[in-house]
Chain A
Amino acid sequence: MKIRHLIAGLAVLALAACATPRGETPQQVVFGLKSDYRALLIPVVEYEALPRCTDKTPEVLVPGELACSDETVVELIRRADRHAFTALESASDVVRSPVATDDTIQLAIRSAETALRVLTQVLVDEGVYGEVTR
């Protein structure tokens, strides 16, 4: 895979995770957030599926491609994912509730956005960045 394709893909994912939510109704906004979350999960699952790193495992066999995943990083990602999923599920319930107030809806959407950003931040700061530079 060409590096420029990867960078283009990363830019798309970054936009997905950080852009102002799309959609014109609360349900559309949360549906968009969950769609972005799904896209974000795909490379994360690929990372988790790698064999766990050991002292004897070279972390990178081919330049630019990881050969193993760090157990600590996987646990960090899982923890952030649980928070993101819970917030997104809560927002999904709220925006589909016929009795939810506007304030409740806005709060639920903001919480879901924040949780998704935290997951992305964990990938960059806590997990991925440390993994790449170790």
Chain B
Amino acid sequence: MNPTQLAFALTLLDLVPLLIRGVSGAVVAFQEGRAKMDELVAENRDPTPEEWDALDQNIARLRDDLHTD
């Protein structure tokens, strides 16, 4: 690991207190996204409009929470 990589890794460790409350949900979401990507590639197709809409709606709900006091 070079110094830059090490610095980045250390910085990531500093993220722990922020992410501790939601990291499990984030990891699940990431894994779901990765599984969907694997599916798309395996089936050699682009996302359907329904798949785009589902992702967009999920993002919209999260952004509503983020941008609302």
Q: Which residues of A contact B (CB under 8 A)?
A: 1, 3, 5-14, 16, 22-25, 27-28, 31-32, 34-50, 60, 64-66, 77-78, 81, 85, 92, 96, 123-125, 128-129, 131-133
Does B15 sit within 8 A of A, measured CB to CB? yes
Q: How large is the interface on B (under 10, 10 to 19, 20 to 34, 35 or more residues)?
A: 35 or more
Contact check, A42 vs B62: say whether CB atoms are below 8 A apart: yes
Contact check, B18 vs A28: say whether CB atoms are below 8 A apart: no
Q: Which residues of B contact A (CB under 8 A)?
A: 8, 11-27, 29-34, 36-37, 40-41, 44, 46-47, 51-52, 55-56, 58-59, 62-63, 65-67
**7 A-B pairs whose Cβ atoms sit less than 8 Å apart in the complex:** A35-B33, A38-B59, A43-B23, A47-B21, A49-B65, A65-B17, A66-B21
Instruction: Identify 5 new A-B residue pairs, CB closer than 8 A, beyond the known A43-B26, A48-B66.
Output: A1-B20, A10-B16, A31-B47, A31-B52, A39-B27
